């Protein structure tokens, strides 16, 4: 993909980073990946008395994986060009 610094390429960076984070997060919760699993820290009781203690999506793992994978090219060899910094910002915006 040629990155020409347009609004459209910013959107593609954001959507790509978000897509990777979402896919990895869902795969963790589904048991499709060996290195991660459910986020079991989410527990509680709703106002109606429903007690939650199931398999929550492991968003932290998904976003961390996305940051390492998607940002690799712009972080490689200490790339600190304005374009790389912009891409890293757009990737992070997508993950948020």
**Would you say residue 2 lies in a domain?**
no
- Give how many domains the chain has, as a whole number: 1
Strand partners of residue 39:
56
pLDDT at 69 over 90: yes
Mean pLDDT over 49-72 rounds to 86
Let me know: does 53 contact 43? Beta carbons within 8 Å: yes
Over 60: is that where the pLDDT of 76 sits?
Answer: yes
CA nearest to 91, candidates 4, 3, 12, 1? 12
Residue 26 located in a structural domain: yes
Query: Would 16 be classed as within a structural domain?
Result: yes
User: Which helix (H) or strand (E) segment is 3 a member of?
Assistant: none
Q: Kindly state the DSSP code that residue 50 receives in the 8-state scheme.
A: P
pTM of the model as a whole: 0.78
1 found inside a domain: no
- Domain assignment present for residue 39? The answer is yes
Which has the minimum average pLDDT: 36-40, 80-84, 89-93? 36-40
In the predicted model, is pLDDT for residue 60 greater than 70?
A: yes
Contact 17, 91 (CB under 8 A): yes
Of the listed ranges 14-18, 25-29, 35-39, 91-95, the one predicted with least confidence: 35-39
The residue segments making up the domain with residue 46 are: 7-95
């Amino acid at each position: 993909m040629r990155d020409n610094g347009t609004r459209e390429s910013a959107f593609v960076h954001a959507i790509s980073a978000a897509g990777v984070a979402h896919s990895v997060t869902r795969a963790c919760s589904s048991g499709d990946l060996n290195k991660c699993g459910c986020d079991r820290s989410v527990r509680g009781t709703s106002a109606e008395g429903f007690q939650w203690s199931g398999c929550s999506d492991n968003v932290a793992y998904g976003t961390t994986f996305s940051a390492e994978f998607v940002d690799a090219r712009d972080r490689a060899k200490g790339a600190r060009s304005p374009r790389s910094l912009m891409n890293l910002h757009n990737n992070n915006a997508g993950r948020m």
